[in-house]
Amino acid sequence: MSARIIDGKAFAAQVREKVAAHVARLKEVQGITPGLAVVLVGDDPASEVYVRNKGKQTLEVGMNSYEHKLPAETSEAELLALIERLNADPEVHGILVQLPLPGHLNSDLVINSIDPAKDVDGFHISNVGLLGTGQKAMVPCTPLGCLMMLRDQLGSLSGLNAVVVGRSNIVGKPMAQLLLGDSCTVTIAHSRTKDLAAVCRRADILVAAVGRAEMIPGDWIKPGATVIDVGINRIERGGKKKLVGDVHFESAAAVAGAITPVPGGVGPMTIACLLANTVTACCRANG
């Protein structure tokens, strides 16, 4: 193995420390405590784990956490009424509605009812437009975390060839916008891309966000490239359950210059960036 392993867990701990210091200053100087409201509809076990982790880490950095757990059969009108209350609440600086929502609820409608200034996920259509036009936006947490790791590894990204594999609204598209903002030459590839291997081999920066276990092997990677693996796929191998990324780690690590592991790479950065976004929203709300 030759690649440097990018330690997302340690990096996320550093981000949380900075957030905690900022929160402490806000309390001391302005008497304000940033607050994050997380809304969970239904009882999806994976979502419950995520929401619990978010609440725990929010409290650990000294912020207020407001959890709203609603039954699966909650109506759209009830959910919209809660969001309206949170939008109007001056103690709440960030609002996150955990996705996916139960099928009878219109996710786009719900997300777009959040005050864009409190939309710490960066999913509101206003924030999508602001990011796309290079203006001050709330930026989705996972791509923001990836960008922070890339800047930390590489310094300037200017002029580098970046390939983003995956075109989701949550990761692929905003990731491409962020890389473009840092003056990369950006290609968005996906499962229908012709000769995906050749496209990937051109990448100085390869961000894999397709959600297919170990789809990208080492021989698709340019020697020395920086590889960011967003995938979290649960597989069973040799009778054991295992988490793997979208990149085949062992073969990729033999070729890449640096690579994020799964777990312990991108994952921990997502919640750290959510906390950072909440502090940003609080600072913007309070001048």
87, 115 Cβ separation under 8 angstroms: yes
Binding of ligand GUN by 113 (CB under 6 A) = no
Question: What is the nearest approach in angstroms of ligand GUN to the Cβ of residue 193?
Answer: 24
Q: Residue of minimal CB distance from ligand GUN?
A: 99
CA nearest neighbour of 181 among 210, 157, 201, 149: 157
Question: Least separation, in Å, of the C-beta of 121 and ligand GUN?
Answer: 5
Please provide residue 270's backbone torsions phi and psi, each rounded to the nearest 5 degrees.
Answer: -65, -50
Q: Supply φ then ψ for residue 133, to 5 degrees.
A: -110, 15
Is position 167 annotated in a ligand binding site?
A: yes
Nearer to ligand GUN, 47 or 153 (CB): 47
| Residue 99 is a binding residue for ligand GUN (CB under 6 A) | yes
Q: Decide: is 276 part of the binding site for ligand GUN (CB under 6 A).
A: no
- Tokens coding 186: 């950006």
> Is 202 annotated to bind ligand?
no
Contact window for ligand GUN (CB under 6 A) among 29-37, 95-103, 173-181, 188-196: 95-103
Which residues are designated catalytic?
Answer: 54, 98, 121
Cβ proximity to ligand GUN: between 96 and 147 the closer is 96
**Burial letters for 38-64: b for 16+ Cβ neighbours within 10 Å, e otherwise?**
bbbbbebeebeebbeebbebbeebbbb
C-beta separation of 23 from 63 below 8 A: yes
Q: Which of 121, 204, 214, 246 binds ligand GUN (CB under 6 A)?
A: 121
CA pair distance 92, 235, nearest whole angstrom: 38
Q: Given the rule CB under 6 A, which of 3-11, 52-60, 97-105, 260-268 is the region that contacts ligand GUN?
A: 97-105
Q: Which of residues 134-163 bind ligand GUN (CB under 6 A)?
A: 141
Pairing mode, if any, of strands 205-208 and 185-189?
Answer: unpaired
Q: Is position 132 annotated in a ligand binding site?
A: no
The answer to whether 19 and 61 are in contact (CB under 8 A) is yes
Please enumerate, by residue number, every residue annotated as part of a binding site.
Answer: 166-168, 232
**Interaction site with ligand GUN (CB under 6 A):** 96-99, 121, 141
Please enumerate, by residue number, every residue annotated as part of a binding site for NADP(+).
Answer: 166-168, 232
